[in-house]
Amino acid sequence: MSKMINALRMRIKDSRFSLHRNQPPFAFHGGLKLDTTKRALAKGIVELPVPPTLVLPLISYAKQPLSPLIVKGETVQRGQLLAEGIVAPTSGVVRSIEKHETIHPGALSIDSIVLDSDGLDSRLVEPNKLSSDERLEELIAAFTTDNVANAGDQKSVLATLHQFALAGLGGAGFPTAEKLMAAKQGLHTLIINAAECEPEIACDEALMQSASDCISKGIDAIVKLTQCESCVLAIEDSKPSAIACMELSLQNIDSSVQLMIIPTRYPAGAESPLIQSVTGRIIAPREKPVQHGIMCINVATAHAFWQALNYQPLDSRVISLGGRAMPNPCNVRARFGTPISFVLENTDNDSLANKSRVRAGGPLSGFDLRSTAVPVTARTNCILVEPSSPETPAQACIRCGYCADVCPAKLLPQQLHWYTIAAELKKCEQLNLDACIECGCCDVVCPASIKLTETFRYAKSQIGYVNTEQQKAIDAEQRFAARERRVEKRELAKAVAIEKRKLSIKANKQPDSTQFNAALERVRSRRGAKKP
């Protein structure tokens, strides 16, 4: 009995969602309270050595292939731009540009730069090095120029930002350059996302505990760059030492940043629930937060921005190694392009049990890998090793509705599931399937163990496929119609020319024989030349 009362008391104490209507943090719908022990945190950040070979997939965030700026056999320095948004993580020689397996749910092979490191790790020499403050001022000046017509300025800002090679380090990898450029239209609230909500992922927490000064300077720089009216650092209440470190370091910067502690609830760190918690605003499914004057930037990205201002473009990241079958859980800093097998070997994690699964991403947002030869990218925030366990077979949906209770996007997963099974994709679209953030909450509570998130991913890609096919059909029809018109025009022109010729022949009773005679002469002379 007393246990129950205590549990009740803890629940009331823990939930610090504000009771006031107009005071953040606001509650978001659904979500789950998960076990947030982060095994990786115990030992700080381990610096991983540079591997002998690095693989850099040439693919953009929008899944389009990138063109490399270097060729096979070229020697590159650390920090040198190899493609749009990709810099060399170390110095060495480009061995080849070939298809290589990547971290992808379908284990796709994508054209990648294979770099052999020369062991020197020498950086690109920058002539006319400015201090980070001067660099920032330059950026700000170009950023806030009122001369809209000056496309050159815009381009140079974009080029500089691209050289930083920044990508969102929260797991999605959205190119930060584009995000910052979009914020030029006027930013009201900047939210620094330090709410690492998924279990096992502790890379941001470790970074905050060890590099809080650089993070704060990075936040300061972004605030000055975007000239936002207010800046909030949102962090979960289960990270007390990180909160303490950040609180201290935020006092030493010029900009005023509000440190907001939000209750630990999955998925509080996803963009939509986070914006709702911090500002109370709900972003509609097809809108972008920047349209509301809000922008979210991951705390590690802010750190990377500061490093980039100091001529250290983004070429490595902190990765959490966790999972119940990981022998030695820890946080490591690895260069992009490092094979996962190298990461595991150099952290005393190579003796994996025979029947264990390696997973990229968190327990709810990640997927299993088929091989560990795949390279680390900006999106790799966590590597888990889990014991292989038999899958619980999915049973029939009993329409209990628990899934809708926990959905942070306030969707109806049950209806989406039934409609996907019935291949009614239009109805799925009407039910805002694209607002699904694939958090996995519905999967956790489903009594019938139905793979709901996988179903929605399948439905989304089917809808994408149908839309692509429809677009292709429309394009094909247009090209066909254009070709028909062209052929028709040509036929018509020919017919008109023939008619004209006929008419002209009729008009001059005398046939125009000069051309004919000339042709006849040519033929005769050729024949004459042939006959000896």
Partner 1 sequence: MSIFVLLMALFAMLILMGTVLARLSRPAGTTEQSNETMMIEKVNALLPQTQCAQCGYPGCRPYATAIIKEHALTNRCPPGGDKTIADLSQLLGTPVLALDTDCGDEKPALVAVIDESVCIGCTLCIHACPVDAIVGASKLMHTVISNECTGCELCLPPCPVDCIDLSAPAITASQWQWPRPV
Partner 2 sequence: MSRLILDKQALGVAAPGTQQIMLLVILALLPGTLAYAYFISPGVILNIVVAIVVAMLLEAFAVRLRKQQGLNAIQDGSIALAAFLLALAVPPALPFWQLIIGVVIMVMLGKHVYGGLGHNPFNPAMVGYAALMVSFPQTMTHWFAPDNPHQSGVFELIEFKLGASYLIVDTNPYWDGITQATPLEYVRSLRLQSIDTSDHAIQSRFLQSGWLPVNFAFLLGGLFLLFKKVIQWHLPVSVIGSFLIMSLMFANQSIPVHYALFSGALILGAFFIATDPVTTASSWRGRLIFGIGVGTLTFVIREFGGYPEGIAFAVLLMNLCVPLIDHLDTKVG
Q: Looking at beta carbons only, is 245 or 411 nearer to partner 1? A: 411
What is the spatial distance between Cα 24 and Cα 328, in angstroms, rounded to a whole number? 39
What is the spatial distance between Cα 344 and Cα 373, in angstroms, rounded to a whole number? 11
Tokens of 446: 């489903």
Binding flag, residue 465, partner 1 (CB under 8 A): yes
Q: Looking at beta carbons only, is 175 or 329 nearer to partner 1? A: 175
The count of residues in the chain is 532
What is the spatial distance between Cα 152 and Cα 195, in angstroms, rounded to a whole number? 38
CB 191 within 8 A of CB 395: no
Restricting to residues 358-387, which ones interact with partner 2 according to CB under 8 A? 363-364, 366-368, 386
Binding flag, residue 79, partner 2 (CB under 8 A): no
Return the amino acid letter for 206: A
Applying CB under 8 A, which part among 69-77, 238-246, 371-379, 393-401 lies near partner 2? 393-401
Binding flag, residue 444, partner 2 (CB under 8 A): yes
Binding flag, residue 29, partner 1 (CB under 8 A): no
Pairing of strands 316-322, 330-335: antiparallel
Nearest CA-CA partner of 224 in 108, 326, 135: 135
Q: Looking at beta carbons only, is 430 or 470 nearer to partner 2? A: 430
Binding flag, residue 451, partner 2 (CB under 8 A): yes
Nearest CA-CA partner of 32 in 403, 400, 324, 454: 403
Q: Which of 473, 496, 505, 519 binds partner 1 (CB under 8 A)?
A: 473
Angle at 8 between CA 269 and CA 234, to 5 degrees: 20
Q: Looking at beta carbons only, is 372 or 455 nearer to partner 1? A: 455
Applying CB under 8 A, which part among 146-154, 373-381, 450-458, 504-512 lies near partner 1? 450-458
Angle subtended by helix axes 299-309 and 212-226, to nearest 10: 80
Applying CB under 8 A, which part among 43-51, 178-186, 225-233, 429-437 lies near partner 2? 429-437
Q: Which helix (H) or strand (E) holds 209?
A: helix 203-210
Return the amino acid letter for 362: G
Q: Which of 426, 483, 490, 522 binds partner 1 (CB under 8 A)?
A: 483
CB 395 within 8 A of CB 438: no
Q: Looking at beta carbons only, is 465 or 516 nearer to partner 1? A: 465
- Select the binding partner of residue 398 from partner 1, partner 2, none (C-beta < 5 to 8 A, by kind): partner 2
What is the spatial distance between Cα 283 and Cα 294, in angstroms, rounded to a whole number? 10
Q: Which of 96, 371, 468, 525 binds partner 1 (CB under 8 A)?
A: 468
Applying CB under 8 A, which part among 251-259, 440-448, 496-504, 524-532 lies near partner 2? 440-448
Q: How far is CA 323 from the centre of its chain?
A: 24
Restricting to residues 85-104, which ones interact with partner 1 according to CB under 8 A? 104
Q: Looking at beta carbons only, is 475 or 521 nearer to partner 1? A: 475
What is the spatial distance between Cα 400 and Cα 420, in angstroms, rounded to a whole number? 18
Q: Looking at beta carbons only, is 187 or 283 nearer to partner 2? A: 283
What is the spatial distance between Cα 408 and Cα 273, in angstroms, rounded to a whole number? 7
Nearest CA-CA partner of 359 in 383, 343, 342, 375: 383
Q: Looking at beta carbons only, is 219 or 437 nearer to partner 1? A: 437
Binding flag, residue 493, partner 1 (CB under 8 A): no
Binding flag, residue 158, partner 1 (CB under 8 A): no
Give the list of residues 6+ apart from residue 289 with CB closer than 8 angstroms, or none.
271, 275, 283, 295, 296
Q: Looking at beta carbons only, is 17 or 418 nearer to partner 1? A: 418
Cβ atoms within 10 Å, residue 372: 18
CB 356 within 8 A of CB 237: no
- Select the binding partner of residue 482 from partner 2, partner 1, none (C-beta < 5 to 8 A, by kind): partner 1
What is the spatial distance between Cα 144 and Cα 440, in angstroms, rounded to a whole number? 41
Binding flag, residue 287, partner 1 (CB under 8 A): no
Q: Which of 475, 491, 499, 521 binds partner 1 (CB under 8 A)?
A: 475
**Is the preceding peptide bond at 387 cis, omega within 30 degrees of 0?**
no
- Select the binding partner of residue 476 from partner 2, partner 1, none (C-beta < 5 to 8 A, by kind): partner 1
* Residue 353 backbone dihedrals phi, psi, to 5 degrees: -60, 150
- Select the binding partner of residue 52 from partner 1, partner 2, none (C-beta < 5 to 8 A, by kind): none
Q: Looking at beta carbons only, is 212 or 365 nearer to partner 2? A: 365
Q: Looking at beta carbons only, is 162 or 265 nearer to partner 2? A: 265
Size of the site for partner 2 (CB under 8 A): 49
- Select the binding partner of residue 259 from partner 1, partner 2, none (C-beta < 5 to 8 A, by kind): none
What is the spatial distance between Cα 82 and Cα 70, in angstroms, rounded to a whole number? 6
Give the binding site for partner 2 (CB under 8 A).
29, 32-35, 105, 199, 282, 324, 357, 363-364, 366-368, 386, 389, 391, 393, 395-402, 404, 409-412, 414-415, 430-432, 435, 440, 443-449, 451, 453-454
Give the binding site for partner 1 (CB under 8 A).
59, 62-65, 104-106, 108, 110, 451, 454-455, 457-458, 460-462, 464-465, 468-469, 472-477, 479-484
